[in-house]
Structure 1
């Protein structure tokens, strides 16, 4: 058995007595383990370091990405929700396959287990982890930003009885805002994705208690309005960047929010 804690403690140095194929396979299995101390501990840190440092070569990274894309249909929730984290690392490194985007599109709005944290499984974070990958794909030159904005709308309008927790609405709003900083979008591109959101929620009469999926939508769009007004950080170390067509985005957000709440 591979001791990931020892490897992490050694500044993620590659063990000389283990072939890389075995190490990558072990990391992949660890990132789907139901034990949160295994899945979300040293193995995650080691994989992140090895991808960032180029320890894992490109063919193995691409194979790992294919495995993560396939994992979106896994029966285990923790396997599905940690797959986007690995893909986010890989795409951030410069790896990309169109099939990964398609697999993510099929999974993200259809995932029904939206728990942020589980007492036994630990962090699951389907919405937040998916949002991080949404933002990553949305900033990739080979992915049309409108495609990811439409996917965000699909996630927002998907019915659920679970109210986003652990700041998942903020993570989703951040991802959308980062996509909207792209300068290769028309004003229509930057706002049309909001139309199905308004159509979906504007058609229903608000009742109390407010349905979970409506609460999720309102919280996400309100946070997005703040980003449209003040800008969003491309990453934690950066200064806020303005959203492209931010005045039009703000106007459309206000119109959709008004449609939802004033009835």
Structure 2
């Protein structure tokens, strides 16, 4: 995890209210949800500099010792990205955290929702849809997230949330066919190697790409719903990857 403090050049920015930020660390699920709601409401009344100060603090929390804290720090970051208050200094720390987050639990019986994969994916989707971060950089992080070893197969719709985020990244107006498909081509040999039993991250990848295949077949849900320019080629490469992992899908004869 990078050790650079993104707030180091913004010491003049006023910090966010400490109570709501502390609430993100709570083990009680209701307290965390309330903290997120409070932060979103407060951020709505903030000016740009105050929002960036809040973002600096949230990015710092991505290095917290508890997975639920790291994950819930990402939720208000999606709001800040949507409000066009994203700072370039946040991009690499955020993407590194999300791509390498080891705790991939969805719902936990003691903690409630953890859901780091899904919460991070929501941020990626907004960054892609708004064009705040180039598609190539976001898709590279998606590849790293999919290839990161997983202890279990996702069970709480993480693959669907991630697929939606990818589809929203693919909506960027200046997207080239090469950028739209290269990340899938690069994934194929990494997940297509015959390994028994099939690793959880390979199954997660296949499920994510199946969901993406459906999403790019029509208008992608977004603030301005529209179609992906290179949808046909994206689907072609998805099918090639799935056939590499599941050869019974390949045409016979």
Partner of 2:4: none
**Equivalent pairs, count:** 235
Compute the RMSD of aligned alpha carbons: 1.8
Contact 1:139 1:145 in 2 (8 A): no
User: Are 1:254 and 2:239 counterparts?
Assistant: yes
Show the 5 A alignment for 1:1-263.
24-40=17-33, 42-52=34-44, 55-202=45-192, 204-208=193-197, 210-235=198-223, 240-262=225-247
Contact 2:15 2:50 in 1 (8 A): no
| Runs (5+) with no aligned partner, structure 1 | 1-20
Contact 1:139 1:178 in 2 (8 A): yes
Please report how far the alpha carbon of residue 206 of structure 1 lies from its aligned counterpart in structure 2 after TM superposition.
4.5
d(CA) in 2 for partners of 1:183, 1:97:
21
d(CA) in 2 for partners of 1:102, 1:222:
28
Please report how far the alpha carbon of residue 58 of structure 1 lies from its aligned counterpart in structure 2 after TM superposition.
2.5
Contact 1:206 1:261 in 2 (8 A): no
Please report how far the alpha carbon of residue 131 of structure 1 lies from its aligned counterpart in structure 2 after TM superposition.
0.4
Superposed CA deviations along residues 142-193 of structure 1, whole A, max 9, x for unmatched, are 4111110111111111111221121110000000001111121111111001
Contact 1:116 1:123 in 2 (8 A): yes
Q: 1:243 to 1:29 in 2, by over 3 A?
A: same
Contact 1:149 1:193 in 2 (8 A): yes
Structure 1 segments of 4 or more deviating over 6 A?
A: none
Superposed CA deviations along residues 203-247 of structure 1, whole A, max 9, x for unmatched, are x21434x32111101100000000121232105xx6x52112111
d(CA) in 2 for partners of 1:51, 1:67:
13
d(CA) in 2 for partners of 1:78, 1:89:
18
SS in 1 for 2:151: coil
d(CA) in 1 for partners of 2:149, 2:233:
28
Partner of 1:7: none
| Runs (5+) with no aligned partner, structure 2 | 1-13, 249-253
Contact 1:178 1:232 in 2 (8 A): yes
d(CA) in 2 for partners of 1:247, 1:111:
32
Please report how far the alpha carbon of residue 22 of structure 1 lies from its aligned counterpart in structure 2 after TM superposition.
8.9
d(CA) in 2 for partners of 1:59, 1:23:
11
| Length-normalised TM-score, structure 2 | 0.87
d(CA) in 1 for partners of 2:126, 2:91:
10
